[in-house]
Amino acid sequence: MKKRLLIVCGLVLSMYQASAQTYEIKSPDGRIQIKINNSDKISWSASLNGNLIIENAEAGMDFSASTDFGINPKVKNHTIKSVSENIHAVISHKDSDIKDQYTELSITYQGNYKLNFRAYNDGAAYQFIDEAKAKREVISEKVSFTFPKGSRSLFPQEESMYSHNERLYIDKALPEIASKDFCSLPVLFTTDKAKVLFTETALIDYPGLFLKGNGNTTLDAIFPKYVLEAVDKNGNSDRVQTIKKEADYIAKASGARAYPWRVFMISDDDRTFVESNLAYQLAKPNVLKNTDWIKPGKVAWDWYNANNIFGVDFKAGLNTETYKYFIDFASKNKIEYVILDEGWTKSTTQILDFNPDIDVKELIRYGKEKGVGIILWVLWKPLDANLLQILETYKSWGAKGIKIDYMQRNDQYMVNSYEQIARECAKLEMLVDFHGAFKPSGLERMYPNVMNYEGVRGNENNKWSDEITPEHTVTIPFIRMAAGPMDFTPGSMINKEPKNFSISFTRPMTLGTRAHQVAMYVVYEAPLQMMCESPSIYYKEQETVDYITQIPTVWDETKVLHGSVGNYIVVARKKADKWFIGGMTDSDARELPIDLSFLGDGSFSMEAYADGSNVDTYAQDYKIDTLKVDKNSKITAKMASGGGWSAIITKN
């Protein structure tokens, strides 16, 4: 009896093994290899140069009705193709023309669904496609992956899914990430042979993904539940809600649709994570017919400096005179926009009328006369309650865009709200800056009037903490910025070495040197790039302002010359016929060689902004040198502790 049972089990095992179907694709350059296995589930692995980087990963979706994805999957057919196309970016965060080159495996399963897998030279991605027409709920999605032993993460740990997603990156061995620990995206993992950055894009009508640990080297996705009822916190908050009731599912689904791309940037060169366009390439294409009205640029910003201007014959503050001073400053320096941040409305919930001390219509008229556009800050909660009337009113006044704050959620309703805001603003030809926001997830390609997202622990934190260190500022380009544009809000002119730094809400200062802040204008991608300092201080630092205002906010081409996560970065970017270089270092002083071979033939003038000789004791010390260079010139970026170096290169 036992012998006969063993034979039957052996036959079942043989049949099971025979039924498993395995596919393999490689990146165009052959370095990245993806293996996909279909047995009782869908699993996959990834290798770089023959080294296993993601040992085992699983993909699937659980629905309330009809077919679940990845449960005993039955393959109907599959195709493998090579693609090489060009994408022209409407708003070019790093490259105006992007080579979209990949190998794609598309598997069609019984049950009316597909799984598309792509292998790129800089990573891999997959996406489920639902071809059914059924209305149902998504109960959960299986996104799980296991790294080799010894792997670590720079983990943007969250305390709650109700979050601005403004995190520090905690260096943890993966077994130290317990089952109660979870993070927002993007997140970086380090193995012995390579690094992996995980994020998502084409996030439409679906909740954002968080990632939790298990006390081992496996991590799993978790999602915010579908919100059934949200109420004001303590019954009267203008911006913070309590999620009072949630469903037992994460999303509602109706009919055929594509789900978000799960994106894995894979490289043994840290520079890849800054150069990669994967999140943009995989996003849904632009849906706007006319984009000529979308104008990136710099913004004179009021909230960071608490409207503290001086040397004037009126009382500074939330009033018309102060904002005319901001507009005059912007106009004199060819800064495209001024933001009216919190305080311009009658109250934070009465946002169709303005503070009696601020004549918004007059400011918009005055700005137009001076060639400066006005962007209006609003809280998400009152905006969501009356979106169309509010936007149409702001447009009728002549506002160029809105900055929305305090979303703090990542559930399906909130993701849909982002898209609705982008769509309605596009109809009115208005720009959008998402503050208090989750990371970029592709909407900025679909609606290029979406200029920026915060979702980063940025300069404003200097008002209440000492956490914005040079180590942090040279970490975020490799992680947070890999997902898309980043509203860090650089431009501080009050720069301090650590022993002289202090926290001040109304007179904030930054750790690191002046040259470190200036270099951010090249290193950090933000089509609407803030100038956070008080105009009165900028007037005293006109030489630095004149340098910064030469730097564009969108780019034709990007090259990362040096890069090491959390240590240093040097980026070269081209706009039209000029090159711009930005370098930043952590607390270690560095000298990095600058290879100018990308310049091509001819002679060039280089204006370099560098740390001054006494920057170790006075962080605001800098020097500007102008010299002749060509593609063979030997240049060194010498950076002090917490320092920076930048250059503007013009052909003679």
List 57's β-bridge partners, or say none.
44, 145
Per-residue three-class SS string for 313-329: CCCCCCCHHHHHHHHHH
Tokens of 19: 């039924």
Rounded distance between C-alpha atoms, residue 14 and residue 25, angstroms: 26
Q: How far is CA 132 from the centre of its chain?
A: 33
CB neighbour class for 12 (10 Å; exposed up to 12, middle 13-18, buried from 19): exposed
| Alpha carbon distance, N-terminus to C-terminus of the chain | 91
Helices 360-370 and 387-397, interaxial angle, to 10°? 50
As a 3-state breakdown, the chain gives helix, strand, coil percent values, each rounded to 5, of: 20, 40, 40
Per-residue three-class SS string for 406-436: CCCCCCHHHHHHHHHHHHHHHHCCCEEEECC
Contact by Cβ (8 Å): 383, 239: no
The identity of residue 575, as a single letter, is K
User: Residue 466 CB: number of other CB atoms within 10 A?
Assistant: 12
Helix (H) / strand (E) containing 473: helix 470-473
Contact by Cβ (8 Å): 544, 518: yes
Cβ-Cβ contacts under 8 Å for 476 (sequence gap 6 or more): 169, 456, 457, 486, 488
Tokens of 387: 């979106």
User: Residue 236 CB: number of other CB atoms within 10 A?
Assistant: 7
| 3-state SS class at 351 | coil
Rounded distance between C-alpha atoms, residue 544 and residue 551, angstroms: 11
| 3-state SS class at 127 | strand
Tokens of 429: 């030809």
Closest Cα to residue 476, out of 2, 485, 356? 485
| 3-state SS class at 422 | helix
Identify the residue whose tokens are 């998400």: 380
The identity of residue 119, as a single letter, is A
Contact by Cβ (8 Å): 141, 60: yes
Closest Cα to residue 624, out of 643, 637, 611? 611
Contact by Cβ (8 Å): 441, 203: yes
Tokens of 548: 């910064």
Give CA separation, 618 vs 460, 505, 511, in Å: 22, 22, 11
Q: Which residues are catalytic?
A: 405, 460
